Structure 1
């Protein structure tokens, strides 16, 4: 399983909380949130498009950076 890195426009704990809420619903997924750098590192069986769509459900701008 590869770690995928995403940019998510998070400005506060509330933003990172929203990201946490959507990602913890996914099975077989672990993640780290780097709030100061607005990055989310995800290790998952799901494909990049699915993860990006999930992150966008928070209402935040999200883009795929690449494999870590």
Structure 2
């Protein structure tokens, strides 16, 4: 399965928000996430891996954070 990079604009208002998103992405490493970055300042989440886009989106939404947009970068 090919590796993709996804970029999400996630509404995060505090360090606790970004920690919650990081936590679900860390758990997703067993399901195909190879690396990720969560930037509270820019409210950007980058995820690289073989996991499907919809799965990443669902995991981020499970945190209760609003995903304003998302796209496949590569």
What per-residue deviation string (whole Å, max 9, x for no partner) do you get for residues 16-67 of structure 1?
A: 0000111101123110011111010000211111100000011010131331
More helix, by proportion: 2
Q: Could you state the TM-score of these two structures normalised by the residue count of structure 2?
A: 0.83
Match of 1:45 in 2: 50
Match of 1:67 in 2: 73
Match of 1:11 in 2: 13
Q: Could you state the TM-score of these two structures normalised by the residue count of structure 1?
A: 0.89
In structure 2, the gaps of 5 or more residues are none
Superposition misfits of 4+ residues, deviation over 2 angstroms: none
Does the 8 Å CA contact 2:36/2:48 hold for their aligned counterparts? Answer: yes
Secondary structure in 1 aligned to 2:13?
coil
Between the aligned partners of 1:9 and 1:46, the Cα distance in structure 2 is 22
In structure 1, the gaps of 5 or more residues are none
